[in-house]
Structure 1
């Protein structure tokens, strides 16, 4: 019996832990739409708020592309469209209310920094530029945030019943995706990790490939971390695929992990993605660029459960 069949036959509740207000549908929308009328599906979105002004140049430009200047209205509309998308699926969604990395500020800035921030807002922010929050490096001030997210998830994901938890693999190295991945890897030993779309389509967007679970201790936190493997082709780093002849399947098996592709309900998924009208201008400036590909998931199999390849 493979994992999806086990979920549907036993009607096991599924929890998709989404970093942002579009990530679950972007990366797992096909599987979510398939499961939604077969079992209870819950989407818990972690980073759903902005901070107050002043905003960095990146934040202002990001909103401007979508036609906004007011961050409150921008995130309000993002939350509303997220709820609307999941209502069409009869899936339950919950917004946890943490501040998005691009809008996250340093706590307790001194008066001099506050004054300077009126003219150069970047000095107030933990990740002032695009390259900072796409580096995959979590700043020390966010360690406390990770514990807060862990506590929030405990309130919504029951510890006493059977469930399957899905989380991002963090392809693309967005720090919010890395945070959610590491928290979920710590909390849910049988978590299933999705390959992040559309970042998994770029030639230079990922350094992440599940090969073996390990423990990251450099932060003085015993946070499980998904190991990375990087292959070099000329000067380009790219994501090793399980069907790549350079990555033998036995190496994936030897890691104790398995994978499966999901190619059902992809047409429905595209329609769901188009429901995120505030995000389409930044993700897919030309809608013809929105080419849906099969979804990819990694998990640690249990006895008698296999992947549906």
Structure 2
């Protein structure tokens, strides 16, 4: 059954949407967050990141992380969608075509007015998801595409500007988005909601280390995305 969403955020991992777009989600109740890499590996394993997050193995990690994501999004009144792909640490990266098709199906099923995608900074999973979404802009007419600056990678020197320059060279037009809610004017209650939602990702905060919540809380910035004619 087809639904209609005002806002759909594409999130590479189980925390990226809240870290990068938490205030925007708070201002748009009933938004959909489609997270791409939510499946455990085919065979169990233990990775450095999962151990830092406090897990014994990948099966335990992904089960707990999906639950954390559901709880965090409930706090922001957002609806989670978990796609069955595996992130890079599990050494089973999906083919770009498979990822694009899954995202196409999701957008057609929910027909959002606005689609928020990662700018695609630094991490291979983020770039893969960003590129898959970019390939859908032309055919998804009637949907406004915007890119968000990926937290925490947006703080890396020149990361944002280098990615924007790359996308412009590939024929995309990026304009700072003024039509989305200005996060600098959001109420204190919205900011508190975002902080509480970030805190729900307890395992990931553990992996990011001391003062993770403070370091991960960033001003949100968005870019309108179009394909040059």
Report the TM-score when normalising by structure 2. Answer: 0.80
The secondary structure found in structure 1 opposite 2:55 is coil
The secondary structure found in structure 1 opposite 2:17 is helix
Q: Which residue in 1 is equivalent to 2:136? A: 187
Q: Is 1:262 paired with 2:183? A: yes
Rounded Cα–Cα distance in structure 2 between residues aligned with 1:278 and 1:201: 22
Q: Which residue in 2 is equivalent to 1:77? A: 64
Rounded Cα–Cα distance in structure 2 between residues aligned with 1:158 and 1:17: 14
Rounded Cα–Cα distance in structure 1 between residues aligned with 2:15 and 2:87: 13
1:41 to 15, 31, 43: 31
Q: Which residue in 2 is equivalent to 1:23? A: 16
Rounded Cα–Cα distance in structure 2 between residues aligned with 1:41 and 1:73: 28
Distance 1:43 1:160, change over 3 A: closer
Which sections of structure 1, spanning at least 5 residues, go unmatched?
1-10, 106-141, 216-223, 227-254, 302-309
The secondary structure found in structure 1 opposite 2:37 is strand
2:7 to 11, 14, 22: 14
Q: Which residue in 2 is equivalent to 1:299? A: 224
Across the aligned residues of Structure 1 and Structure 2, the Cα RMSD in angstroms comes to 2.7
Q: Is 1:208 paired with 2:126? A: no
1:90 to 68, 77, 91: 77
Rounded Cα–Cα distance in structure 2 between residues aligned with 1:82 and 1:159: 21
Q: Which residue in 1 is equivalent to 2:98? A: 148
Give CA-to-partner distance per residue, 1:193-229, whole Å, 9 cap, x none: 00011221233755634245343xxxxxxxx7x6xxx
Q: Is 1:276 paired with 2:201? A: yes
Give CA-to-partner distance per residue, 1:94-141, whole Å, 9 cap, x none: 100101111124xxxxxxxxxxxxxxxxxxxxxxxxxxxxxxxxxxxx
Rounded Cα–Cα distance in structure 2 between residues aligned with 1:81 and 1:270: 14
Give CA-to-partner distance per residue, 1:233-274, whole Å, 9 cap, x none: xxxxxxxxxxxxxxxxxxxxxx56233453323332121111
- Cα displacement (A) at 1:280: 0.3
Which sections of structure 2, spanning at least 5 residues, go unmatched?
139-143
Conserved in 1, the CA contact under 8 Å of 2:5 and 2:110?
A: no
Rounded Cα–Cα distance in structure 2 between residues aligned with 1:296 and 1:180: 18
Rounded Cα–Cα distance in structure 2 between residues aligned with 1:206 and 1:258: 12
Rounded Cα–Cα distance in structure 1 between residues aligned with 2:102 and 2:205: 29
Give CA-to-partner distance per residue, 1:130-176, whole Å, 9 cap, x none: xxxxxxxxxxxx5x6211112112322127945211000122x1011
Question: Which of the pair is proportionally richer in helix?
Answer: 2
Rounded Cα–Cα distance in structure 2 between residues aligned with 1:97 and 1:84: 19
Rounded Cα–Cα distance in structure 2 between residues aligned with 1:70 and 1:193: 33
If asked which structure has higher relative contact order (CA below 8 Å, sep 6+), I would say 2
Q: Which runs of 4+ in 1 moved over 6 A?
A: none
Report the TM-score when normalising by structure 1. Answer: 0.61
Q: How many equivalent residue pairs? A: 210
- Cα displacement (A) at 1:286: 2.6
User: Which residues in structure 2 correspond to 1:285-296 (within 5 Å)?
Assistant: 285-287=210-212, 289-290=214-215, 292-296=217-221
